[in-house]
Amino acid sequence: MTDQRETPGAGAGRGGLAWAVTEVAAPQYVVIALPPVAGLLAHGWAGALWGLLAAALCVGVPVGVIAVGVRRGRLDSMHLVDRRSRTGPMLVGLVTVAVGLVLLVLLDAPAVVTATAAVMLGWVLVMGAITLKWKISFHTGVAAGAAVVLAHVLPAAVTLGVGAALAGLIGWARVRVTHHTTAQAVAGAAAGAGVAWAVLALVL
């Protein structure tokens, strides 16, 4: 049987706080913003420009592929609610992030920007592998992992505290709109944060 949480539009009607949170906190938006923000905080405007390049290299193509798929009716939404529809975009993401990371290394991009791209690659590898069997939440994973990344360039305790609160809110929203179970939301946050911590420990 198909889990109702894989059915687009199931559960709470569109509108209200839960839908607003799930739309604003979409992983695509977070991963586009993360490299330039991290670069800006660590290296000023030059770092932000490097971050924009990283976002274009690592995120632009996968987001474009998903947008085209939605427009043509092959994908249910930008959130890829149906787990079965995630395989193609995940493979595209894996290739583009890997290529983008190599280019950033060759171009001698700032360490924080390169590390952020490496974290993205880790997310695709780990959460992408999990979602092939079980619909882990990328929303909470990317949000929690982004907080770990930003904790390297901002006061750690405050950043992690705010990040945990936001990940909790996002997890509530994803469960409220019936796109995930509580376990999937919690597992996403744990996986996203764990991958970010492990990658940053290796590369920074």
Q: What percent of the chain has pLDDT over 90?
A: 71
Average pLDDT value for residue range 37-50: 97
The pTM score is 0.86
What is the reported pLDDT for 3? 42
What is the reported pLDDT for 92? 81
Average pLDDT value for residue range 2-19: 58
What is the reported pLDDT for 8? 44
Write down the residue that tokens 């992690």 correspond to: 160
Rounded to whole angstroms, how far apart are CA atoms 127 and 123?
A: 5
pLDDT surpassing 80 at residue 170: yes
User: What type of residue sits at position 102?
Assistant: V
Rounded to whole angstroms, how far apart are CA atoms 38 and 122?
A: 17
Give per-residue pLDDT as tens, 69-128: 778 877 777 767 776 777 777 788 889 999 999 999 999 999 999 999 999 999 999 998
What is the reported pLDDT for 154? 97
What is the reported pLDDT for 13? 53
Contact 156, 43 (CB under 8 A): no
What is the reported pLDDT for 132? 86
- For the chain, the 3-state helix, strand and coil shares in percent, each to the nearest 5, are 75, 0, 25
